[in-house]
Amino acid sequence: MSTEKKSLWKDLMDLPKNIYRSIFRNPLPASDRGRAATSFTNFFLHIQPVRVNKRTLRPSYTMGLGLISFFLFVILAVTGVLLMFYYVPSTTQAYDRMLDLRSSVAFGVILRNMHRWAAHAMVAVVFLHMCRVFLTGSYKAPREFNWNIGVGLFLLTLFSSFTGYLLPWDQLAFWAITVGTSIAGYAPLIGHQLQFLLLGDATVGQEALLRFYVLHVVVLPIALVLLVAVHFWRIRKDGGLARPEPSELPAPAAVVAPAGEVVAALPARRFAIQGLVKGPLVKVGTLDDDTVFSWPNLLIAELFVLLLTVAGLMAVSLFFNAPLEHPVNVMHPPNPAKAPWYFLGLQEQVSYSAFWGGVGVPAIELLLLVLVPYIDRSKEGVGRWFARQRVWANTLFLTFVLVNIVLIVIGTFFRGANWQFVSPF
Amino acid sequence: MGAAPKAIEPAETQVPRRQFLMWLSSVGVVGSALAAIFSTFVFMKPRATYGQPNRFRIGRPEEFPTGARIAIDTKRVCIVRDGDKLAAISTTCTHLGCIVAPSATGFHCPCHGSQFDVDGNVTGGPAPKALPWYLVTITPSGELEVDKDTEIQMGTYLSV
Ligand code: HEM
Ligand code: FES
């Protein structure tokens, strides 16, 4: 039985290799065919196309803003779950647990800092990503629906950040949420119901803390994950990131379908690539020369953005501590009481007119955001920053952005006690 | 259905029937979904709140001498007394929900500077409407009871 023994020995020797092979079906790719196979046989990589357009990869085009949003969300999920191991959503304990994070939990401070700064950053970055999508005209057909998925993501991001704001149960949290939910109360007809539903009581208290907690750690993250999944899926099904029409670019390369069969009948290039690796090959180069393989080009770009995001966030979290004010004192509102910064534009508006500032104008702005891809049907100037054909749309949008930023800056820096105008200098 | 045995082509009768069933089941499915959403909201809206009760006793009339304007911050009301007239005015700012404090000219909100006169009328700042007045009654034991669920006309006093 020496042969059997020998093969058992050999199997043992091959064990590591076999385990590795069972997980990673392909060896590190050395050929184009291998690069394609690596992309679509790996669960995490198959979310991406096998090839991407070179324009898509230019850092100056997307600025990686969507990706940074996504990575911040992942960081928030991880640090958030870790914080949950110590946090208690109770008015008598929450604040003490914040102090414990500082004094007796290993890495408590850095985790809390990362979670807090990533939350602020995500609001800002998601907004910037929206600006980039608009200014490059990337919301146009066939991407109207994905733009609106994006609007949903923006709202969810704001609401997640807002619900998290209450959880430390300090003065800042308490009064920001008191003011913030009162703004919601200005909505006609449903306003007070909405406020009551949100708080579970007439004022901010234990019920509100519990409700905000459940929304913050379960409901909103699940909704976000779902919408992000649809968002990414749609990016691929809408044909990758928006690009200028071929007619706007120098001579396009003809798409040559490989020897008959499936591929020839299908319109879009991405199917052709899949058919390609299975079927008899034509030269890949002739297929489309402004695309490159995702492995490794896209992957490296993504890892680079991830690295930058983590490094930036760590740096900020090492040097700046997340604020924690005095514990809640229901009898002593700070003067002035301010909502979280991303709602300060709203609060500033509310101080001019309760209804228009708090409800009317935001509702109109939101409606315009939702409708813009259905109103602006022209196909021109897609896939380029500040295209000349889009000068009107872009100017309008930038005005809207600037007005909101100015309002936020005023609310944040120029409003002091009694909401009087003060100079920060 | 089921009437005269007319010779109808099966195909002709079946399509409308299928459509009808389709329509019926769609209504059922959409209806159930709407009912589910609605009941979720009903569930989410508390019937009883665990916080402060909205009806509470604040002591005997003698504890509020004439001319007094005593704010009870924990209950968010201010008790005002003028001779034998007594009333409870809300101290929750109608702007964005902070607590207003009695001042020489009426009330003043520390959050964004709204000013109210002694009756609660807005005299300055961003507050959109007057401070509401609440019903005050005397219990059989002679104590004052405030009911924050019942707003009354400004200037309606209880005689004590
Ligand atoms: C949680 C928030 C969000 C995440 C994680 C996210 C993620 C991404 C990613 C990774 C991309 C690929 C391109 C890039 O990096 O720029 C993308 C594209 C896109 N996003 Fe978002 N996004 C978010 C919010 C939004 C918002 C608020 C909008 C607009 C209202 C939006 C609209 C779009 C559209 C239309 C595209 C396709 C752009 C194109 O074809 O060039 N997204 N998103
Ligand atoms: S909450 Fe009183 S002035 Fe704003």
Residue of chain B whose Cα is closest to the Cα of A415? B112
What pLDDT does A251 receive?
52
Residue of chain B whose Cα is closest to the Cα of A201? B49
- The residue whose C-alpha atom lies closest to atom 29 belonging to ligand 1 is A150
Residues contacting residue A297 through CB under 8 Å, at least 6 positions apart: A52, A57
What pLDDT does A169 receive?
94
Higher-pLDDT residue of A208, B75? A208
Choose among B112, B115, B127, B96: nearest CA to A417.
Answer: B112
pLDDT tops 50 at residue A285: no
Q: Are residues B59 and B41 in the same domain?
A: no
CB contact under 8 A, A333 and B49: no
Q: Are residues B74 and B90 in the same domain?
A: yes
Higher-pLDDT residue of A402, A203? A402
- The residue whose C-alpha atom lies closest to atom 22 belonging to ligand 1 is A66
ipTM above 0.85, yes or no: no
DSSP B106: E
- In the three-class reduction of DSSP (H, G, I as helix; E, B as strand; rest coil), residue A384 is classed as coil
- Mean of pLDDT over chain A: 86
Higher-pLDDT residue of B49, A155? A155
The fraction of chain A above a pLDDT of 90, given in percent, is 53
What average pLDDT score do residues A341-364 get?
A: 86
d(CA A265, CA A268): 9
Q: Are residues B141 and B92 in the same domain?
A: yes
Whether A369 and A393 have beta carbons less than 8 Å apart is answered as no
Residue of chain B whose Cα is closest to the Cα of A193? B45
Q: Are residues B121 and B77 in the same domain?
A: yes
* Residue B107 located in a structural domain: yes
Q: Are residues B28 and B67 in the same domain?
A: no
- The residue whose C-alpha atom lies closest to atom 17 belonging to ligand 1 is A66
**Confidence band for A229, pLDDT divided at 50, 70 and 90:** very high
Residue of chain A whose Cα is closest to the Cα of B108? A418
Residue of chain A whose Cα is closest to the Cα of B41? A197
CB contact under 8 A, B46 and A200: yes
State pLDDT tens for residues A106-138: 999 999 999 999 999 999 999 999 999 999 999
Q: For residue A200, is it left (φ>0), alpha (ψ between -120 and 50) or beta? A: left
Amino acid at B51: G
Of A133, A236, A305, A372, the residue with max ligand 1 atoms within 8 A of its CB, to mutate for a pocket test, comes to A133
Q: Which class for A13: exposed (0-12), middle (13-18), buried (19 or more C-beta within 10 A)?
A: exposed
Q: Are residues B29 and B61 in the same domain?
A: no
Choose among A348, A337, A358: nearest CA to A404.
Answer: A348
* Residue B34 located in a structural domain: yes
* Residue B1 located in a structural domain: no
pLDDT tops 80 at residue B50: no
pLDDT tops 80 at residue A354: no
User: Nearest CA of chain B to the CA of A197: how many Å?
Assistant: 5
User: Nearest CA of chain A to the CA of B160: how many Å?
Assistant: 29
What pLDDT does A5 receive?
65
Is the minimum CB–CB distance between B33 and chain A shorter than 8 Å?
no
Q: Are residues B22 and B95 in the same domain?
A: no
Q: Which is it for strands B101-103 and B106-108: parallel, antiparallel or unpaired?
A: antiparallel
Domain extent at residue B33: 14-49
Of residues A200, A206, A335, nearest to B110 (C-beta): A335
CB burial string A280-289: b at 16+ within 10 A, e below:
eeeebeebbe
pLDDT tops 80 at residue B96: yes
Q: Are residues B42 and B59 in the same domain?
A: no
Whether A119 and A161 have beta carbons less than 8 Å apart is answered as yes
**Confidence band for A270, pLDDT divided at 50, 70 and 90:** very low
Amino acid at A108: G
What pLDDT does B3 receive?
55
* Residue B67 located in a structural domain: yes
What is the distance in A from the centroid of ligand 2 to the CA of A220? 29
- The residue whose C-alpha atom lies closest to atom 11 belonging to ligand 1 is A66
Please give the sequence-ordered ranges of beta strands (E in DSSP) within A246-331, or none if there are none: 291-293
- The residue whose C-alpha atom lies closest to atom 4 belonging to ligand 2 is B112
CB contact under 8 A, B111 and A419: yes
- The residue whose C-alpha atom lies closest to atom 18 belonging to ligand 1 is A66
Lowest mean pLDDT among A144-158, A274-288, A359-373: A274-288
CB contact under 8 A, B97 and A205: no
Of residues B44, B51, B95, nearest to A203 (C-beta): B51
Q: For residue B2, is it left (φ>0), alpha (ψ between -120 and 50) or beta? A: left
Q: Are residues B65 and B41 in the same domain?
A: no
* Residue B9 located in a structural domain: no
What pLDDT does A305 receive?
96
User: Nearest CA of chain A to the CA of B123: how many Å?
Assistant: 14
d(CA A293, CA A278): 16
C-alpha angle A268-A272-A278 in degrees, rounded to nearest 5 = 155
CATH superfamily for domain A51-241+294-419: Cytochrome Bc1 Complex; Chain C (1.20.810.10)
Q: Where in chain A is the domain with CATH 1.20.810.10?
A: 51-241+294-419
pLDDT tops 60 at residue A264: no
Q: Which is it for strands B106-108 and B115-116: parallel, antiparallel or unpaired?
A: antiparallel
Q: Which class for B127: exposed (0-12), middle (13-18), buried (19 or more C-beta within 10 A)?
A: buried
What pLDDT does A278 receive?
41
Q: Are residues B77 and B118 in the same domain?
A: yes
d(CA A225, CA A44): 15
d(CA A284, CA A277): 10
Q: Are residues B73 and B107 in the same domain?
A: yes
H runs (alpha helix) in A200-281: 206-214, 220-237, 261-265, 269-278
pLDDT tops 60 at residue A268: no
pLDDT tops 90 at residue A375: yes
State pLDDT tens for residues A320-351: 999 898 898 888 888 788 888 998 998 888 87
User: Nearest CA of chain A to the CA of B152: how many Å?
Assistant: 18
Q: Is the CB of A70 under 6 A from ligand 1?
A: yes
d(CA A196, CA A182): 10
d(CA B110, CA A336): 7
What is the distance in A from the centroid of ligand 1 to the CA of A394? 18
- What does the block give as tokens for A338? 């301010």
Whether B100 and B93 have beta carbons less than 8 Å apart is answered as yes
pLDDT tops 70 at residue A247: no
- What does the block give as tokens for A360? 């009317």
Q: Are residues B41 and B63 in the same domain?
A: no
* Residue B6 located in a structural domain: no
Contacts of A337 in chain B (CB under 8 A): 96, 98, 110-112
Is the minimum CB–CB distance between B72 and chain A shorter than 8 Å?
no
Residue whose tokens read 């020897």: A259
Whether A145 and A153 have beta carbons less than 8 Å apart is answered as no
* Residue B119 located in a structural domain: yes
Is the minimum CB–CB distance between B111 and chain A shorter than 8 Å?
yes
Give the CA distances from residue A297 to residues A49, A64, A253, A301, B109, in Å, rounded to whole numbers and listed in that order: 12, 14, 21, 6, 59
CB contact under 8 A, B112 and A336: yes
What pLDDT does A149 receive?
98
The fraction of chain B above a pLDDT of 70, given in percent, is 91
CATH number at residue B89: 2.102.10.10
Count of domains observed in chain B: 2
